[in-house]
């Protein structure tokens, strides 16, 4: 495994265990038994590490939310989506735990996260539509932000 990948994996592990705010780049370097200079060769700062972890999380979620178009949805698909969501939430728990702080701290993360969540909501709505079409769940009426009439 390349050093860059080890840094990302170890950072994710440390952030999940201790919380992102309690982990410095020096902690990450010490955990990997590399020099801080070696870490900085791959990443300019902790924000760059967090952003790269987010990009990996984004890829994972996009994979999880991919809908089979060549067949009807099944109960196994629904189970897969539920298990995948919980797996992703657990594996990247630091991100969700510290989300407000992380988004306030990094403009590019804030922008990309906004687009990511919109894409996720669209995919989730499509999954529910397809599950309803397959008769696995009952279609629900659209929800209104204001009282519906």
Contact 73, 131 (CB under 8 A): yes
Residue 129 has φ and ψ, to the nearest 5°, of -60, -45
- The whole-angstrom separation of Cα 88 and Cα 61 is 7
Residue 147: what pLDDT? 56
- The whole-angstrom separation of Cα 113 and Cα 63 is 16
- Nearest alpha carbon to residue 141 among 124, 127, 129: 129
Residue 82: what pLDDT? 87
Q: Which structural domains are found in the chain, ordered by start?
A: 3-133 (1.10.357.10)
pLDDT tens, residue by residue, 20-78: 999 999 999 999 999 999 999 999 999 999 999 999 999 999 998 888 889 988 989 88
pLDDT tens, residue by residue, 109-149: 999 999 999 999 999 899 889 989 999 888 877 655 555 54
- The whole-angstrom separation of Cα 8 and Cα 32 is 11
Nearby residues of 69 by Cβ (< 8 Å), 6 or more positions away: none
Residue 26: what pLDDT? 97
Q: Would residue 147 be called left, alpha or beta, if left means φ above 0 and alpha means ψ between -120 and 50 degrees?
A: beta
Q: What is the mean pLDDT of the chain?
A: 91
């Amino acid at each position: 495994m390349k050093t860059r990948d080890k840094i990302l994996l170890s950072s994710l592990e440390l952030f999940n265990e201790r919380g992102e705010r309690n982990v410095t780049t020096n902690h990450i370097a010490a955990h990997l038994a590399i020099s801080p200079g070696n870490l900085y060769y791959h990443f300019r700062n902790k924000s760059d590490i967090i952003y790269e972890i987010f990009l990996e999380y984004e890829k994972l979620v996009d994979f999880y939310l991919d809908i089979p178009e060549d067949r009807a949805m099944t109960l196994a698909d629904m189970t897969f989506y539920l298990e995948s969501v919980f797996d992703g939430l657990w594996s990247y728990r630091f991100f969700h735990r510290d989300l407000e702080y992380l988004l306030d701290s990094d403009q590019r993360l804030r922008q990309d996260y906004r687009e990511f969540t919109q894409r996720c909501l669209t995919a989730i709505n499509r999954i529910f539509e397809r599950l309803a079409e397959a008769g696995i769940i009952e279609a629900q009426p659209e929800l209104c932000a204001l009282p519906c009439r």
